């Protein structure tokens, strides 16, 4: 399963409607954001049945960035059953993100 695009209007619904959601808060001008993009694509392929990987462009969606207190990018937030459980700031290795997601699988 591929990553999905989230917006100010859809993010809360995505978080509510899925058990496990990892949201990548990013911007196109951000070098580290571009570095982590292929990692998130691979992660989405590996955990697609267990979790949704969503990407939110903070430049296009400033309300969600403010609501979730994003101060630097890339910031990734893991939500389980609609509640924020973990925050990652900066580029993260695939195995760390996958392990965080898989502890909530099933």
Which whole number is the average pLDDT over 32-58? Answer: 96
Task: Name the band, by pLDDT with cuts 50, 70 and 90, for residue 105.
Answer: confident
Is 83 labeled as catalytic in the residue annotation?
no
Residues forming beta bridges with residue 88, ordered by sequence position: 76
Predicted confidence at residue 86, as pLDDT, reads 96
**Residue 54 CA to its chain's centroid (Å):** 5
Q: Which of 30, 37, 91, 94 is catalytic?
A: 30
Write down the pTM of the prediction: 0.96
- At the fourth CATH level, the homologous superfamily of domain 4-102 is Glutaredoxin (3.40.30.10)
DSSP 8-50: TTTHHHHHHHSSEEEEEEE-TT-HHHHHHHHHHHHHHHHHTTT
pLDDT of residue 48: 87
Q: Which of 6, 15, 23, 33 is catalytic?
A: 33
Q: Catalytic: 30?
A: yes
Q: What is the largest CA-CA distance in the chain?
A: 36
pLDDT tens, position by position, 14-32: 999 999 999 999 999 999 9
pLDDT band at 87, cuts 50/70/90? very high
Name the residue ranges covered by the structural domains of the chain.
4-102
Q: Taking Cα atoms as reference points, which of 12, 40, 35 lies closest to residue 24? A: 40
């Amino acid at each position: 399963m591929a990553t999905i695009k989230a917006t100010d209007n859809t993010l809360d619904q995505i978080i509510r409607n899925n058990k496990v959601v990892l949201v990548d808060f990013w911007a196109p001008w951000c070098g580290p954001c571009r570095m982590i993009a292929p990692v998130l694509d691979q992660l989405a392929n590996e955990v697609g049945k267990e979790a949704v990987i969503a990407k939110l462009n903070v430049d296009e969606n400033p309300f969600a960035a403010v609501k979730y207190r994003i101060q630097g990018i890339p910031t990734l937030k893991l939500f389980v059953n609609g509640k924020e459980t973990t925050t990652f700031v900066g580029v993260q290795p695939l195995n760390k993100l996958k392990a965080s997601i898989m502890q909530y699988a099933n």
